[in-house]
Amino acid sequence: MSDDADLSLETTMRALLLAALSDLDLDSQMEILVKAGVGNTEIAKMTGLTAKAVGVRKVRMNKKKKGAK
């Protein structure tokens, strides 16, 4: 695939993902994105947070999960 086609596919996939997650709260969105293997920088681009804020939220989410078990 050419670079233009890769970029177009990536843009389309991101738009579809954002549309699918739009009705969920931020923590739920992040949980799905993390499970899908999306990195902090990409999650930040999608949610409007900084990559550092995404990392902090991920740590808090993990602590909350461990505390619930």
What's the pTM? 0.72
Torsion of CA 40, 46, 48, 52, to 10 degrees: 0
Q: Which pLDDT tens digit goes with each residue over 1-54?
A: 567 777 688 778 877 888 888 899 998 989 888 888 889 998 998 889 999 999
CB-based contact 46:17 (threshold 8 Å): yes
Q: Which pLDDT tens digit goes with each residue over 53-67?
A: 999 999 999 898 888
Q: Which two tokens stand for residue 42?
A: 């990409």
